[in-house]
Amino acid sequence: MASTETPPAQADPPAPPTESEPLLGRPGDATQKPDAPIARNFVLGTGWIAQVGALLLLAVIWTSVLKHQTHALVTPHPLLQSLGVFTVLQAILILQPTTTPAAKLLGQRDHFFLHLLSLALFISGTTIIEVNKHRNHLAHFHSAHAYFGTATLILLLLQYLFGFTIWAVPRVWGGEDAAKALWKYHRWTGYAALVLLLATVAAAVETDYNKAVMKVPLWWVVAAEVLILVGVLPRVHLRKLGLRRGP
């Protein structure tokens, strides 16, 4: 007598690589759905891990700075710069998962304004510490942190200008199509800037002033930065970086 059992269903073949395929995970793991609010991008996929790292970094730095008595022209510097790093991270996270034209447009707008805020924070924090060095006749390049900080600020300024012109005035690059072809370089540079920012923060912990006065703990900072990278990098879309072709 023939068996009447239904043969097991065959598993669907894996989805072909598309723009929604992240660096780690399956296609769609870090992609904003058309009907989802853009605010969800902040924690989508592994984004929540980056947020935990960002909040931990803020907590460690702010607690250490406010707990110890520091110079009036020193205290605002780590507070403002750490807020700047936090804001840069939000600008990255909100734009990463966008794929549809409408979501990209909204994400780019929010990305721009968040970076505008981060630029104001970085310039304010840098200006304050430079005034302190000038008034107290201190060396401007006394540590690895100073060199990292200067290089990072220059890279960010160029990155902000690059991204703004691609987005707002594409004719500078020869038109909209030519400008769109440059987005992948803007993304590469943006991720490099994030890594350099985190390196600058870690280098600050090794300065003589931090060791003697603020006492921000290195291992907590490193742990927070690892969480940030673990949250951000898996959400990187391969096609957006020009690493994979697809529809």
Cα–Cα distance measured from residue 126 to residue 129, given in angstroms and rounded to the nearest whole number: 5
- Please give the Cα distance from 123 to 165 (Å, whole number): 20
Predicted pLDDT of residue 35:
85
Between 222 and 99, where is the model more confident? 222
The DSSP H or E segment spanning 180 is helix 176-180
- Sign, CA dihedral 35-39-42-46, equals negative
Q: Which of 228, 195, 190, 194 is nearest to 51 (CA)?
A: 228
What is the structure's pLDDT at 244? 65
123-161 pLDDT, tens digit per residue, is: 999 999 999 888 887 777 888 999 999 999 999 999 999
Average pLDDT, the chain: 87
Kindly report, residue by residue over 209-232, the tens digit of the pLDDT: 999 999 999 999 999 999 999 999
pLDDT exceeds cutoff 80 at 247: no
Q: Where are the domains of the chain?
A: 39-237
Pairwise CA distance, residues 39 & 210, whole Å: 36
CA distance 96 to 216: 31
What is the reported pLDDT for 234? 93
CA distance 135 to 124: 17
Q: Which tens digits make up the pLDDT trace of 3-38?
A: 455 555 554 444 444 445 676 666 666 788 888 899
Residue 135, classed as helix, strand or coil, is helix
pLDDT at residue 76 is higher than 50: yes
Percentage of the chain beyond pLDDT 70 is: 87
210: DSSP letter: I
pLDDT at 240: 84
Q: Is the pLDDT of residue 122 over 50?
A: yes
What kind of architecture, by CATH, is found in domain 39-237?
Up-down Bundle (1.20)
